[in-house]
């Protein structure tokens, strides 16, 4: 059974949708940020501060290799930069959650922003968002409008579950 891999910008709802897909399908859910945090013993923000972004991308590449070789039938929520820096296709069917930047900004609280080192400055985050959109699209097997209700997103993915 193929994995379902959720990609998209920070704050577009990948983790929330992954949990809901796991709940309705009974499949296991993996969150790349959470697994990297558990393995390294520090938060993503601390990891960036101590070791820098390039080292974090290396940890993400290890995650991709591990999923490709060892994980089947899971729902996988990826960090927003993973698919912008590496091919995520080897992990499974790739679903891009597309959401407007303005909408993302209204969804993220101060504490959500504090956890995301690349969302410190809104202008820089918009530049990143603009640069990444075509990359997400190119990696996607399926693109969904992430502004839809979660029930609509789950039913759009029902044929894969
Ligand atoms: C990042 C997204 C974050 C996290 C890290 C870098 C990015 O994950 O992996 O802060 O480069 O877009 P979320 O998409 O879950 O916020």
- Ligand 1 neighbour 92 (Cβ under 6 A): no
- Indicate left, alpha or beta for 26 from its phi (over 0: left) and psi (-120 to 50: alpha): left
pLDDT at residue 148, rounded to an integer: 97
- Ligand 1 neighbour 116 (Cβ under 6 A): yes
pLDDT at residue 138, rounded to an integer: 97
pLDDT exceeds cutoff 90 at 120: no
Q: What separation in Å is there between the alpha carbon of 2 and the centre of ligand 1? A: 24
Q: Which of 98, 97, 132, 128 lies closest to 4 in space, CA to CA?
A: 97
pLDDT at residue 49, rounded to an integer: 97
Helix, strand, coil tally for the chain in percent (to 5):
60, 15, 25
Mean confidence (pLDDT) of the chain: 97
Length of the chain counted residue by residue: 161
Task: Flag the least confident range among 15-24, 48-57, 62-71, 116-125.
Answer: 116-125
pLDDT digits (tens, 9 = 90+) for 31-74: 999 999 999 999 999 999 999 999 999 999 999 999 999 999 99
- Ligand 1 neighbour 10 (Cβ under 6 A): yes
Give one DSSP letter per residue of 16-77, joined into a string: HHHHHHHHHH---EEEHHHHHHHHHTS-HHHHHHHH-HHHHHHHHHHHHHHHHHH--S-EEE
- Ligand 1 neighbour 8 (Cβ under 6 A): no
Give mean pLDDT, residues 132-158.
98
Q: For the chain, how many helices (H) and strands (E)? A: 9, 5
pLDDT at residue 135, rounded to an integer: 98
Alpha-carbon gap, residue 13 to 7, rounded angstroms:
10
Please choose from 50, 58, 76, 81 the residue to mutate so as to test ligand 1's pocket, defined by most ligand atoms within 8 A of CB. 81
| Angle at 122 (CA atoms; ends 117, 124), nearest 5 degrees | 75
Give mean pLDDT, residues 101-118.
93
pLDDT at residue 100, rounded to an integer: 97
Q: What are phi and psi of 142, to 5 degrees?
A: -135, 135
pLDDT at residue 109, rounded to an integer: 92
Q: 65 vs 70, 140, 154, CA distance in Å? A: 8, 18, 27
Give mean pLDDT, residues 101-122.
93
Question: Is the Cβ–Cβ distance between 30 and 71 less than 8 Å?
Answer: yes
pLDDT at residue 40, rounded to an integer: 98
């Amino acid at each position: 059974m193929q994995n379902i891999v959720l990609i998209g910008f920070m704050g577009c709802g990948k983790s929330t949708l992954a949990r809901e897909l796991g709940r309705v399908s009974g499949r296991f859910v993996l969150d790349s940020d959470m697994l990297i945090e558990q393995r390294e013993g520090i938060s993503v923000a601390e990891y960036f501060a101590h070791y820098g972004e390039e080292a974090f991308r290396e940890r993400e590449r290890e995650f991709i290799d591990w999923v490709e070789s060892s994980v089947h039938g899971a729902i996988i929520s990826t960090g927003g930069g993973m698919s912008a820096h590496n091919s995520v296709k080897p992990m499974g069917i790739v679903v891009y959650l597309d959401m407007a930047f303005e909408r993302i900004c209204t969804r993220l609280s101060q504490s959500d922003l504090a956890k995301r080192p690349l969302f410190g400055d809104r202008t820089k985050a918009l530049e990143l968002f603009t640069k990444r959109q075509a990359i997400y699209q190119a990696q996607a097997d399926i693109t969904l409008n992430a502004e839809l209700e979660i029930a609509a997103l789950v039913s759009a993915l029902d044929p894969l579950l």
